Amino acid sequence: MMIHEAVQGAPRTKPSKRKGRGESSGHGKTSGRGNKGSGARTGTYITRGYEGGQTPIFKRFPKRGFSNQNFEHRYYIVNLQQVDELFDNGATVDPVALKDKGLIPDFKLPVKILCEGKLTKKLTILAGWYSKSAHAKILKVGGIAQNSKGEVFEFPKPKKKFVLRDPVKKVKAADEVPAEASAAKPVDAKAEAKPAAE
């Protein structure tokens, strides 16, 4: 066994760097901080991405696309397999019970139930949202899926952005004969008179 193998797992005890002790300390006159400036002072913090005054890379780089980071719905994720393992048959699964079991850290976000795993127990689950497959599994076993208010959970109806209407048939101008014009047209008596019999 070599010496480096014997001390490989020992904690490191590296002595701290002694600053401001002159050139004879082996770290130079300024201890590697250079000459003056904010980097040489104590208690300074340079903002991440700062490039010395020139336009930083995140401003020079073109932006494309769309992100819903500011208004997306955020949930604590719980799978059916976790619920099936930690709760007894007929139990009520709510955020308080989930926190006691260690499945969620706190009550800051609503809970979303996902479909991973099998569900073999009849449970009453209170959550903020369900995936469609998880909701179907809960009902198939005979359980009850409720929202955070204790009401029966229902998925919202799909929104109709555009209502399709029957197209209007357009009539050509030549074929159009207004009813009022035909009724008001005078009748010529001579043109309609029959010729006398010979």
Report pLDDT digits (tens) over 91-139.
Answer: 999 999 999 999 999 999 999 999 999 999 999 999 999 999 999 999 9
- The gap from C-alpha 7 to its chain's centroid, in whole angstroms, comes to 49
Q: Options 3.40.50.620, 1.20.190.20, 3.100.10.10, 3.30.559.10; which CATH number does 76-146 get?
A: 3.100.10.10
Q: pLDDT-based confidence at 184, cuts 50/70/90?
A: low
- Per the prediction, the chain carries an average pLDDT of 85
Kindly tell me if the per-residue pLDDT of 188 is higher than 80: no
- Structure tokens that stand for 16 in this block: 């701290």
Q: What is the pLDDT of residues 58-85, one digit of tens each?
A: 999 998 998 898 899 999 999 999 999 9
Burial class (CB in 10 A: 0-12, 13-18, 19+), 170: exposed
Which of these, 143, 164, 161, lies nearest to 152 by C-alpha position? 143
**Domain locations along the chain:** 76-146
Contact 30/40 with Cβ under 8 angstroms? Answer: yes
Q: What is the pLDDT of residues 136-173, one digit of tens each?
A: 999 999 999 999 999 999 999 888 777 777 888 877 76
- The gap from C-alpha 144 to its chain's centroid, in whole angstroms, comes to 26
